[in-house]
Amino acid sequence: VKACIIDTGYGRGHPDLPNNNLITGFNPYGSGEWFVDGDGHGTHVAGTMAAVGGNSVGVVGVTSKANMPLHIGKGLTDSGTGTTSGVLDAMRSCVENGAKVVNMSLGGGGPSSAVESFLTGLEDDGTNVLFVAAAGNGGGSSYSYPASYDSPLVMSVAAVNSNSVKASFSQYNDQVDIAGPGVNVKSTVTTSSGASFSYATWGGTSMASPHVAGVAALIWSHHPTKSAAEIRLALECSAVMPQQYGNDVRNNDVGYGVVNAKNALDMLDSNNFDGCPGTAPTMAPSPFSCSSDEDIMEVRIKTDQYPTETAWILTNTCSNTVVAEAPAGSYTTRNQEYSDKICVPPGGRYSFEITDTFGDGICCSYGEGFYNVLKNDVSMIGGGQFGTDETKTFGQCGPTPPTPAPQTPPTPAPQTPAPTSA
């Protein structure tokens, strides 16, 4: 399995890095060479992933074998900066050269429609590739890109220390999928603008990401016929949740937990994904019921292409109490129908507010999502086309009003695919 590293280049002459005809590269910029790393960052990442083992020199990479094919995309220049178009060109080069795992220890700014279109195209074509990216070092909850693209082909990696405690600098949000070692990581570097070679101990989600990418490449090399979805599922389901998070299955700090190579490989060897996130439950749920003096309220949501952007809150305005809610990040699967049922006292006036963090609703720019609120199986309100938020009310305080006639949920108009931009 070939891996790709998009970064500041590759110190090809480093005595602890592979240096053979299995190493190829690409530079989208007018100056510099992919095999020269004037910054050192890319070489540090490469060492974490692929430093040669058993040579009595320096450090050992996750793959630790010099015969793993590597492609280098110099998406960042020797100054450590780059452009979105340069990074995108490097991503294309990785895919075109057959890479299955792409590490991207870089990020910042907002999303790019061109990158989103590229990822959507890969997904639609069934391309088996996994982009593993650093969650960011801002220490807050803001999104960093490319890690935070809401794509099944992208994994966002947080950083933990040797005690599996989240690093203070590591970004935390609902796009974080998994965590890796990112504090005091020793690896290969270049010095003197790429002319000399050495070692350095650095920290950052940039150091955590190649640990996960390396494990992905390692387990995929043992099971080359597996899909990207299966490799991702094995990584997430086998990750170890730090003890301080109790019974969390997933959280915004470390995602599904800290990457574990042995667990992931064992899972693929046994081909047993029972109980993993994203798999179907093994038992049918019990029928939902309320007491005879209660009504059943149901909120149905069909997500669009960006499910984590959707949130809603249902409030009983007679008592000014929140009956149910789903914060942003509650939904993670694209174009999927969800249902939440709640037992409520009879009657009542309700306010339903739905929001979209991007401001394009759930229909019809990027999918055909909708919402529908039902009471005792009768539709009360529905919709899907709105901007940032929409609020609708129904019912009345006091005695239960006559049951209204059934309503048909709104059907979205046929959509025209969003134009791609360079």
Q: Which residues are catalytically annotated?
A: 7, 41, 206
CA atoms lying within 13 Å on the CB side of residue 50: 32
Tell which residue, 363, 357, 348, 361, has the closest CA to residue 314.
Answer: 348
Cβ-based neighbours of 122, under 8 Å, separated by 6 or more: 95, 129, 153
Tell which residue, 76, 84, 78, 53, has the closest CA to residue 66.
Answer: 53
Query: How far is Cα 230 from Cα 383, in angstroms, rounded to an integer?
Result: 35
Q: To 10 degrees, the CA torsion angle through 412, 413, 419, 420?
A: 30
Query: How far is Cα 398 from Cα 348, in angstroms, rounded to an integer?
Result: 7
| Strand order across the 337-344 sheet | 337-344, 295-302, 370-375, 378-383
Residue 284 amino acid letter: A
Q: What is the 3-state secondary structure (H, E, C) of 65-124?
A: CCCCCEEEECCCCCCCCCCHHHHHHHHHHHHHCCCCEEEECCCCCCCCHHHHHHHHHHHH
Query: How far is Cα 48 from Cα 43, in angstroms, rounded to an integer?
Result: 9
With tokens 């010099």, the residue in question is 66
Tell which residue, 231, 10, 222, has the closest CA to residue 131.
Answer: 231
* Range 271-300 burial, b when 16+ CB lie within 10 A, else e: eebeeeeeeeeeeeeeeeeeeeeebebbbb
Query: How far is Cα 77 from Cα 317, in angstroms, rounded to an integer?
Result: 57
Query: How far is Cα 259 from Cα 264, in angstroms, rounded to an integer?
Result: 8
Cα angle for residues 115, 139, 183 (degrees, 5° grid): 95
With tokens 């999918």, the residue in question is 367
Contact present, 370 and 410 (Cβ < 8 Å): yes
Q: State in Å, rounded, how far the first CA of the chain is from the last one.
A: 30
Query: How far is Cα 257 from Cα 366, in angstroms, rounded to an integer?
Result: 30
